Amino acid sequence: MIEALKSDELVNKVGGRFKLCALIQQRLHQLLDGERPLIEREGRSDLELVMEEILQDKITLQFVDDAHQLGDGGDLLL
């Protein structure tokens, strides 16, 4: 599954390498904080789990520009 990081499938699905990195980082942080996986673990590492969640469209990035909704605006949501 780590080989998937070398392909452009994940990058294109999310919309760029920076966005992919941000999404993976945010989701890994959530999993480490105790959030439940959205798919069956099936022996996968957290990184592999996150990549599969992205491939299955279980998680996506959403940027909020309205400063009244979250913080200063431009906050990252999953």
Q: Is 62 helix (H, G, I), strand (E, B) or coil?
A: strand
Q: How many beta carbons lie within 10 A of that of residue 27, not counting itself?
A: 24
Host domain of residue 14: 2-77
Mean pLDDT of each 10-residue bin along the chain, 78 residues long: 75 91 94 95 94 93 64 50
- Residue 21: CATH number of its domain: 3.90.940
Q: Which pLDDT does position 75 carry in this prediction? A: 46
Listed in sequence order, the residues at least 6 apart from 15 whose beta carbon sits closer than 8 Å to its beta carbon are 61
| pTM of the shown model | 0.74
Query: Total structural domains in the chain?
Result: 1
